[in-house]
Structure formats: structure tokens, C-alpha cells
Structure 1
Amino acid sequence: MSNTIDREKRLHNRTSFLSNIARQLGRTQPLTQVERPALRHTCQNEVMATFSQDQLKDELVRYTETSLGAKAVVTTKADLEATLKQLCLDYCKDQQGNAAAGETIVSATAALLEMVSPQSLETDEHKVHVWDAAAGFDANIKIAERAKVGIVLAEEALAESGTMVLYSQANQGRAVSLLPEASIFVVAKSNLKPRLTQATALLHQKASQGERIPSCVNFISGPSSTADIELIKVVGVHGPVFATYVVIDDM
């Protein structure tokens, strides 16, 4: 109830605004909540419905590596820092495979920083920055533009399509996963879902309960690519050239 009241307080002149629209449409009855119609078929809920979290993990890894041209790594919470450090150093190597200077930008979400110390990822050649909302837009964008790697924490991952679900928030700017040459997505195995159906159902549930949902939800499936020119797939057209999914197996 309190969430509903808070939401009503944030909305100004909603009743008069909607009443005016209804009047222009010739509707005099008070507006009521639209009820979702019952569907004759619900096959969208049946895909991978019986899969365990381990089976969803295996499907995510398989699809990611065979269809998306991306990399999937399964690790543990204890080994997460070492895994991320090695991935960053690999992405920062030069064309001959030698260690080279590079930078990484890391999301400042509390859940990620509780598991990973950005300083532990640094070496003499590799510098790590943390997204700083207080520093303003321009400062963060400049770092993300020149960074070789961006590390973000995904709220969910969809096994069917190899998709990472990112909620927009102040501590995790969209530039972290969009501007660097390589993106690393960290996700807990417990947050793997079969497909888009389950991801949107969770958002619908939050909205129905009066919870504030993110202003933007990004669904990212591997590195950026396009195949709309003669059906030839080209990777890295409008975003990261490389992508790695890191699944935390014991979370």
C-alpha cells in the first residue's frame, strides 16, 4: 500500500489529464485498470520450463559460444577476481599477444564491488577505473571511450538467446558496456532465466506491486553485430567487438 501511495504522490494532475483525454474520446465512465486477456496458448512459458539452473547455464554457454561468437566462463565467487583480472589482461594484449598498457572501467554497483576489489585487477600496465556518478557525465564518458574493457553486473541472463539483462541505474552507466572495445558481463547462476518471457514477467510484477522500475532496460546479446547487408554478419559495427559472459556458479 505504501508503494502505491508514494507512486501517486510522484504523479501530478494525472486524474485531470486522463479525464480530459477520456472526454475528448467521448468516454464518460471513470477509467479502470486494463485487465490482461487470457491467452489461448501459453507456449512462451513452456520453453525450458523444466530446466534446472545448471541446465540453463549449460544452454547459455552453448548458445553464447556457437551462435553469438562470444566467450563464456564459469567461475566461483572465490575465483571471480582472478578470473576478471586474467580476462582484462588478455583483452589488453597487443596483436602479437604481448602484455600492453590498457584501461578498464568497472560498474559501481554495490553487489559487484562487494565481490570484486577494482584495485586487485590492476597491474603496472593495467589501470582500473570505477564509474563515478558524482563526477558527472563527461568525465565518465571520456574514461569509457578510451577503456579497452568494461565490466558490469547483469541482473539476469536469458539462456535461450544468450542475452544479458541490465537495469539502468546511476552507479552503472550504459557507457560501461557500450563504449569499451570489450564487455565483460558478470551474472549469478541463480539469476539465469529461460527467455525474455520470464525477464519481462518480473518487470511486470514489480510494476504491479507499485515498485519503481528502471527507466531503461538493456537486453544485450553478445558483441555488437549486424547482418542486414547481404546477410553477411559483421561484428563490432556500433559497440563492443568482444564480449565475455562470466557466470558465478555458486551464487
Structure 2
Amino acid sequence: MNEQQFLTQIAVRLGRAKPLQQPPATMFNGVPDSYRKRMGQLGQEECVQLFMDSWTALTGLVRVAPVSQAAEAISASIAELKERGMLERVVYAKTPELQSYGVPQVLHEQRLVGVPWSESASAADEEDAWKAALEQLGTSEPGEAGALAGEKWQARSPLLRAVERCHLGIVVPEAVVANTGTLAVLSAGAQGRSVSLMPGMLLAVFPAERIVARMGEVFERLRASHGEMASLPSSLNLITGPSRSADIENDLTIGIHGPGIVSAVILT
């Protein structure tokens, strides 16, 4: 397929007879003031509903519950995910927030193996402890991907080898975008990027007040909370529904570069 045929195929899928010969005219530079004003007028309940509409349109699962019932809501969401595929091992961000929601106890009650992501788990003085933990977790042997990697898999840190065998990752987003159904997940310390990227399923747990109307507000919050941009973690993952890839001849495939099933628990 040559360049012209490739562009023509894209144009046809966009409902055009042939590729545009000139760039389309742009009416605005940046966010239109009318849109910014309308988004700025949304209240918290409206933002929650808009996020739920956007998230479910992307095939995401969602549940709303009072923060006092966080453990029950998380347990119900995990039970729902069990119906979607194999779920035996879970990696979760070892943050005080998830601890306060009762995640470790929920996993125990659901008879799931829990792998807490530890920011120092790759330290040399903890290697032996993690190797022993791998045996206990049932993750000492590689899964399909690890088997294909061979010796490279064995050379990885014990924690990463454990995460490779997990079916679900549980994270806490820094912020959530209502109008696109996007999770903004900072990856640092007790919440490594592998937690949200390696397992086939993802569960996000967050308070309703973290939901903002539009993407620009996420970056405004990050500037306010981190001051110097140099203090930001090396990775900010923007997760909009399940992983979707259509870069090979426009054929849409789910779950190639991340979780194929996503769920969210909103705490009010």
C-alpha cells in the first residue's frame, strides 16, 4: 500500500471521497471562551455524571458510593471484574489512601493474592525477601509473556516479575477529567507506572472532588500542587478507557498497550 492509497483509505473511513488537498480552516486558537465558560459552570454532581457518561461510553465500569462504604464498593467492583475474566492476583499502589479504603482486607476477603507496589522493593537489601514472597504469591514462575522473554524475565526485579503475573491493578488518580472520561495517574514512589500498565484489568478509586470538567484543569492542579515542574514525577499517564490501538491499517484492537477492562469507584 503506497502513501496515496493509505491516505485515501483514511479519508473514506472519515466519510470523504478523497484526502483533503488543503488543511481545514481553524476557527479557534486554543479552547473557545464559550466552552471554557460552560465547563467552568459545572457543579460537582454534574461533573460526576459527565464523567460516568464519558467513562461508560468507553465501555468502562463505574460505581458510586459514600466514602464510609469504600471497602464494600471496591469489593463489589472486584466481584464484577471477576465475571469479565481470570482474576487471581492483584497489584495495588501501596498508598495511605488505598490502605484507608481497606484494599488489603478486601483482597483477603475475596481470596485474591495481593501484591503491594513498594517504592523500595528493588533495593538490594530487600531482594531476598521479595524472592521468598514470589514463592508465596505463586509468581515465581513466568507467565506467557515472561516465558517468551526467557533470561530477560529472570533478570528483572522480583517485584516486576510478580506484577507481570497479576491480572488487576488498583490505582488512585491525581485527577479525573469529566468530559473525556480520563484518569490522570501520577507514577512515582508507592504507585509505579507498571501498576496501571501491566495487568489486563484496571480499577481506579478516587474521591468525587478530584473530578474536573476538562483537561486543562488537570494541569492547573498539577502546577498548583507541585510548584516547580521539576518536582513532578517522571510519568503522568492519561488513561481514557481501555487500551485501544488502531495504528495498523486502522484495525481497532483492545488491550494491546494496557488494560482491556477498566473500572472506577467514585467516593462521595
Could you give the per-residue CA deviations for residues 152-195 of structure 1, whole angstroms, max 9, x where no partner exists? 11111000110001112110011111111100011110111011
Q: Deviations over 1:129-169 (max 9, x none)?
A: 21122221722212221111111111110001100011121
Normalising by structure 1, we get a TM-score of 0.73
Tell me, in whole angstroms, the C-alpha distance in 2 between the residues paired with 1:234 and 1:210.
35
Match of 2:54 among 55, 63, 81: 63
Q: Given the superposition, is the C-alpha separation of residues 111 and 207 from structure 1 closer, same or farther in structure 2, using an over 3 Å criterion?
A: closer
Equivalent-residue separation in structure 1 for 2:182 and 2:198 (angstroms): 18
Contact 1:70 1:223 in 2 (8 A): yes
Q: Deviations over 1:14-54 (max 9, x none)?
A: xxxxxxxxxxxxxxxxxxxxxxxxx8964563342111111
Aligned to 2:88: 102
CA distance in 2: counterparts of 1:232 and 1:244, whole angstroms: 24
Dislocated runs of 4+, deviation >6 Å: none
The aligned length equals: 206
Secondary structure of the residue aligned to 2:49 is: helix
- Classify the secondary structure of the residue corresponding to 2:157: helix
- Cross-structure match for 1:111: 97
- CA shift for structure 1 position 125: 4.0
Aligned to 1:79: 69
Contact 1:88 1:149 in 2 (8 A): no
Pairing partner for 2:205 from 174, 186, 190: 186
Q: Which amino acid aligns with 1:54?
A: E
Partners of 1:197 and 1:105 lie apart in 2 by: 30
Q: Which residue of 1 aligns with 2:40?
A: 49
Mapped partners of 2:207, 2:92: distance in 1 = 17
Residue matched to 2:148: none
| Counterpart-to-counterpart distance in 1, 2:211 and 2:197 | 22
In the alignment, is the contact (CA less than 8 A) between 1:103 and 1:147 conserved in 2? yes
Note the C-alpha offset of 1:90: 3.6
Q: Are the aligned partners of 1:119 and 1:128 in contact in 2 as well (CA < 8 Å)?
A: no
**For the residues of structure 1 that align with 2:65 and 2:111, how far apart are their CA atoms?**
25
Q: 226-235 or 215-224: which moved more?
A: 226-235
Percent identity of equivalent pairs: 23
Which residue identity lines up with residue 135 of structure 1 in the other structure? A
Determine helix, strand or coil for the equivalent of 2:64: strand
Tell me what 1:133 maps to. Answer: 119
Secondary structure (helix, strand or coil) at the match of 1:63 reads helix
The one-letter code sitting in structure 1 at the alignment partner of 2:76 is Q
Deviations 1:81-101 (A, max 9, x none): 122223323434586xxxx76
Q: Is the 8 A contact 1:163 1:219 kept in 2?
A: yes
1:169 paired residue among 188, 209, 226: 188
Q: Give the SS at the match of 1:171.
A: coil
CA contact (8 A) 1:206 1:212 kept: no
The within-5 A match list for 1:1-251 is 42-43=33-34, 45-66=36-57, 68-93=58-83, 102-123=88-109, 125-136=111-122, 138-206=157-225, 212-249=231-268
Determine which structure has the larger helix proportion and give its number. Answer: 2
Taking structure 2 as the reference length, the TM-score comes to 0.69
What amino acid sits opposite 2:40 in the alignment? A
